[in-house]
Chain A
Amino acid sequence: MTLLDFARGPALEWSLIILVAGTFLRIVGTLLLRGKKDLSKPKVKSTAGGAIRTVFNRMWPRPHFAQQISFPLMMAYIMHIGLFVVVFLYGPHIMFIKDLTGLSWGALPSSLIYFSGAAIVATMIALMIRRLTNPVLRMISTFGDYSSWLVTLLPVVTGMMAVSHLGARYETMLALHLLSVELLFIWFPFSKLVHAIFTIPSRAHLGATFERRGVKI
Chain B
Amino acid sequence: MMTEEQVEKAETLGKSLISNGVSRRTFLKFCSTVASAMALPPAAAQAMAEKLSQATRQSVIWLSFQECTGCTESITRSHKPTLESLIFDFISLDYHHTLQAASGEAAEHAREEAQKAHKGKYILIVDGAIPVKDDGVYSTIAGITNLQMLKDVAKDAMAIVSVGTCAAFGGLPKASPNPTGAVAVSDIIKDKPIINIPGCPPIPVVMTGVLAHVLTFGIPELDIHGRPMAFFGESIHDRCYRRPFYDKGQFAKAFDDEGARKGWCLYEVGCKGPVTYNACATVKWNNGTSFPIQSGHGCIGCSEPDFWDKGSFYKALPQGQWGSAEGIAAAAAAGAALGIGAAALAKVHQNKGEG
Contact = CB atoms under 8 A, between A and B. Distances in A.
Touch between chains A and B, by CB atoms below 8 Å: yes
A24 B338 contact: yes
Nearest to A21: B335
Contacts of A165: 238
Interface residues of A, number: 45
A95 interface: yes
A170 B273 CA distance: 10
B320 A13 contact: yes
Interface core residue of A16, A17, A25, A96 (most chain B CB under 10 Å):
A25
A20 B335 contact: yes
B248 interface: yes
Interface residues of B, number: 43
Interface in A23-79: 23-34
A8 B339 contact: no
B350 A34 contact: yes
A9 B321 contact: yes
Interface string B286-313: 0000000000000000001110011100
A9 B322 contact: yes
A197 to B, nearest CB: 12
A135 interface: no
A34 B347 CA distance: 6
B320 A171 contact: no
Contacts of A27: 339
A95 B319 contact: yes
Interface string B311-355: 100011111111001011011101110111011101100100000
A29 B339 contact: yes
A176 interface: no
B335 A91 contact: no
**Consensus secondary structure, chain A interface:** helix
Given A95-B268, A109-B249, A171-B275, A5 B306 contact: yes
A170 B238 CA distance: 10
A139 interface: no
B339 A26 contact: yes
A29 B275 contact: no
B251 interface: yes
B318 A95 contact: yes
Given A12-B322, A16-B327, A99-B318, 5 more contacts: A9-B322, A10-B322, A17-B328, A24-B339, A32-B340
Interface of B: 235, 237-238, 247-249, 251, 267-268, 274-275, 304-306, 309-311, 315-322, 325, 327-328, 330-332, 334-336, 338-340, 342-344, 346-347, 350
13 contacts: A5-B321, A17-B327, A25-B338, A26-B339, A28-B335, A28-B338, A29-B339, A29-B346, A34-B346, A100-B320, A107-B249, A110-B247, A170-B274
**The 7 nearest A-B residue pairs measured at CB:** A28-B339, A24-B335, A21-B335, A32-B343, A99-B319, A29-B339, A92-B318
Interface of A: 1-2, 4-5, 8-10, 12-13, 16-34, 91-93, 95-96, 98-100, 107, 109-111, 165, 169-171, 174
